[in-house]
Amino acid sequence: MGRRTFEAVAKMYMNKETRRGNQKSETAQRVLKQMSNRWKDMDVGDIRKPDIADLVDDLKSRKLKNATVNNYLKYLKAVLNFAKDERELIDSVPKIVQLRETPREFYMEPHQVQTLIRFLDPLRADMVEFGLSVGQRNANIRLLRWDQLSEGFQFIRYSRDETKNGKALVVPLNKDARAVLRKRWHIKEELELARPRMRGHIHHMFFQENGSPFHKDSVTNRKWRRAVELAGLPKGTCFHTLRHTFASWHIRAGTDIKELMEVGGWSSLNSMQRYVHMNNEHRTKVADRISGMVRG
């Protein structure tokens, strides 16, 4: 049957994933290496609940967050399931319970957005790029009409009944947003040329083949969730994640909270509390720019 140590089975698991074209993350490689060192000579079938409990205790003693501990448990379970279902080295897998994690707001990094867009259809990809440029909510982007745009695509004008807080809003458009607008306008012209009866009837910027916008639940339907999964993003990544990402990118770029409220349409400081710590981190970096000037 061959070697059955945890270390050997973990290597088999990683090799299998590589052959399937699934390059495991650095996190997977790191935690599996640490567990392999821990259970180097232990038969994979001898790893039971007490061993897993000891692992969790040791990890928590290192002051690791529950989310980090859960990464160990996730890959441990993956290896044990591989040993049971694909290699038939063990008869059963001990129950592995994930620790409760403190909910946190998820913000995407630029490379994660690029990966997500790669797995989306062109219409949703355009909506994502535009959403990250303007920071507006699902409905304000999904139902955006051409007549809300200023000449030259410099601004969007939302009336009071089109915003969540009931206040009229003017949203400035950056170069990326204007590029998406020009692209959508070109697509509209092509569709009207191919279907003359649709001329003058495509009122929304993000329209489907029949000229109508998505239903509110269609933006993040099965196609969206599949793209999120393929991109390796957390389950639950939704269109509103773009609004939080927009805010986090602005804070990191040096935008002040009050400026962010104006361009993003937030109406109260209470709604901005989740971003205050990021703003303070930026201010600390600004203060550190002159560190050492006196003492050289």
In order along the chain (296 residues), what is the average pLDDT of each group of 10 residues? 80 81 70 93 93 95 88 93 92 91 77 96 97 94 96 92 85 95 96 94 94 89 94 92 94 89 84 76 75 73
Q: Quote the pLDDT of residue 24.
A: 59
The answer to whether 116 touches 241, Cβ cutoff 8 Å, is no
In angstroms, rounded to a whole number, what is the distance separating the alpha carbons of residues 82 and 90?
9
Q: Quote the pLDDT of residue 106.
A: 82
Q: Quote the pLDDT of residue 290.
A: 74
Q: Could you tell me what percentage of the chain is helix, strand and coil, using 3-state DSSP and rounding each to the nearest 5? A: 60, 5, 40
Token pair listed for 88 = 């038939």
Token pair listed for 169 = 């809003």
Q: Quote the pLDDT of residue 124.
A: 97
Q: Quote the pLDDT of residue 100.
A: 83
In angstroms, rounded to a whole number, what is the distance separating the alpha carbons of residues 22 and 29?
13
**Phi/psi of residue 88, each to 5°?**
55, 40
Q: Quote the pLDDT of residue 61.
A: 94
Q: Where are the alpha helices (DSSP H) in 135-254?
A: 138-142, 175-194, 222-230, 240-252
For residue 72, give the nearest of 6, 124, 130, 144 by alpha carbon: 6
CA separation, residue 198 to residues 109, 118, 144, 182 (Å): 39, 30, 18, 19
Q: Quote the pLDDT of residue 1.
A: 46
Q: What is the pTM of this model?
A: 0.62
In angstroms, rounded to a whole number, what is the distance separating the alpha carbons of residues 231 and 198?
35
Helix (H) or strand (E) holding 172: strand 169-172
In angstroms, rounded to a whole number, what is the distance separating the alpha carbons of residues 87 and 4?
10
Q: Quote the pLDDT of residue 249.
A: 93
